[in-house]
Amino acid sequence: MTVTVPGPTLGVVGGGQLGRMLAEAAAPLGVEVVVLDPTPDCPAAPVARDHVVGDFDDPEAFRELAARTDALTFEIELADSDLLDEVADEYGLTVNPAPETLSLIEDKLVQKEALADAGVPVPPFRRVDDADDLRDALDEFGAVMLKARTGGYDGRGNVPVRDESEVEEALDAVGGPAMAEAFVDFARELSVIAVQGDGEVRTFPVGENVHEAEILRETVVPARTTDAVRARADEVARDVLSVLDGRGVFGVELFETPDGDVSVNEIAPRPHNSGHWTIEGARTSQFEQHVRAVLGWPLGSTARRAPTAMANVLGTVEETRPATLGNVESVLAAEEASLHWYGKDDVRPLRKMGHLTLTGADGAADDEADVDGLLARARDLRDGLTFD
């Protein structure tokens, strides 16, 4: 392939923080980005070339996006996969990852069935259509995590169920078709940001994720585990890509058990929160990689620059209010820190408002003390930020 700049215009369905960071990464490559999002002042709007206001299943909005761009992708699983396929065909555009992959991943039950059929390790699971199904799952697995099959993210749509007294309330909370997954006694949660290009696959170093209330709080790289577990996590992530069609970045979330086994939790067919560390911590960020991949361009290096810790800045308020972040000077004064603000107008409880990254020295050792120190410092700086 011959690449020239200025390059093509990329259409992105979704204009949240991922769309914002995609547009920021595309600009130095000479690629302009047009986003489609229902929110008039979405986070990506200030940095994208333009913004089509429309719902994620609006045929006319999709056609307007397609008419103004040279290739299509998405940064949110709520994008209508059938409509993406239809519009791409109508306008003669490529859409990556493939709409079929989006269809597979957006239904957690279909996703797990496809992975299991391909021999990819996953926790035991079963379909849940009613209370009897959930009771059967409890009998088979013991405690389970009840997951909405579609629409859940950032812990929404996930409800732990430990005994039969919680069955009805859990089903009401999920509010639709679901699956039950056996609780995994994991030692840590891992993730691999994997990239599928035009005939090539690359993976970033394995990250370790810290969740609380099902929401990602921090990621550290390298993961504080053994070389053997890191190698196995990378192998499993590559096996996952063999199940998925189309080019792009995929976030593969994994469980590591106390005996070193690795299994897949969930997959995101797009850049992922646990890969934000790559902006400062890797040779090429996950966002630049996604732009390169979906356009069919050569992929960049996934090598890590230095040990890195990323901490999410979440809404600490009790009710929705206009968003103003305070004590920012403490982060700016830390020479090893970088701040990313997502430009959301309102802050609400636990909403992702931004993130900060701390990097160690180039060539620093991978021992846990380096990562532990970076993580502690990242938490201190993050916790010093306020929305008062």
Q: Which of 376, 281, 384, 381 is nearest to 334 (CA)?
A: 381
The CATH H-level superfamily of 188-383 is ATP-grasp fold, B domain (3.30.470.20)
Q: From start to end of 90-169, where are the E strands? A: 94-95, 125-128, 144-148, 158-161
pLDDT at 230: 98
* Angle between the N-to-C axes of helices 131-141 and 167-174, in degrees from 0 to 180, rounded to the nearest 10: 120
Consult the annotation and say whether 276 binds a ligand.
Answer: no
Taking the domain 124-182, which CATH number applies?
3.30.1490.20
pLDDT at 2: 84
Q: Which of 75, 125, 98 is nearest to 291 (CA)?
A: 75
Consult the annotation and say whether 265 binds a ligand.
Answer: yes
Per-residue pLDDT of the chain (388 residues; tens, 9 = 90+): 788 889 899 999 999 999 999 999 999 999 999 999 999 999 999 999 999 999 999 999 999 999 999 999 999 999 999 999 999 999 999 999 999 999 999 999 999 999 999 999 999 999 999 999 999 999 999 999 999 998 766 556 789 999 989 999 999 999 888 999 999 989 999 999 999 999 999 999 999 999 998 899 999 999 999 999 999 999 999 999 999 999 999 999 999 999 999 999 999 999 999 999 999 999 999 999 999 999 999 999 999 999 999 999 999 999 999 999 999 999 999 999 999 999 999 999 999 999 999 999 765 656 666 899 999 999 999 999 999 7
CA 251, CA 388: separation in Å to the nearest integer?
33
**Number of residues that make up the chain:** 388
pLDDT at 39: 96
| Residues 312/216, Cβ–Cβ less than 8 Å | yes
Consult the annotation and say whether 235 binds a ligand.
Answer: no
| Tokens (6 digits) for 388 | 């008062």
pLDDT at 213: 85
Residue bearing tokens 């709080």? 217
Consult the annotation and say whether 336 binds a ligand.
Answer: no
Query: Residue 27 half-sphere exposure, CB side, CA atoms within 13 Å?
Result: 11
Residues 6+ apart with CB under 8 A from 200: 299
Consult the annotation and say whether 337 binds a ligand.
Answer: no
String of DSSP letters for 216-284: EEEEEES-SS-HHHHHHHHHHHHHHHTT--SSEEEEEEEEE-TTS-EEEEEEESS--GGGTTHHHHBSS
CA 107, CA 130: separation in Å to the nearest integer?
17
String of DSSP letters for 309-371: EEEEEE---SS-EE---B-HHHHHT-TTEEEEE---SEE-TT-EEEEEEEE--TT----HHHH
CA 129, CA 147: separation in Å to the nearest integer?
12
CA 7, CA 337: separation in Å to the nearest integer?
32
CA 296, CA 198: separation in Å to the nearest integer?
6
pLDDT at 388: 78
**Domain map (residue ranges) of the chain:** 9-95, 124-182, 188-383
Q: Give SS3 for 21.
A: helix
CA 160, CA 144: separation in Å to the nearest integer?
6
| Residues 255/282, Cβ–Cβ less than 8 Å | no
Consult the annotation and say whether 181 binds a ligand.
Answer: yes
Consult the annotation and say whether 108 binds a ligand.
Answer: yes
Consult the annotation and say whether 211 binds a ligand.
Answer: yes
Would you tell me which CATH number, out of the four given (3.40.50.300, 3.40.1210.10, 3.40.50.20, 3.30.460.10), belongs to the domain 9-95? 3.40.50.20
Consult the annotation and say whether 170 binds a ligand.
Answer: no
Domain pair 124-182 / 188-383, same fold: no
CA 225, CA 203: separation in Å to the nearest integer?
17
Consult the annotation and say whether 329 binds a ligand.
Answer: no
CA 313, CA 38: separation in Å to the nearest integer?
24
pLDDT at 363: 59
pLDDT at 124: 96
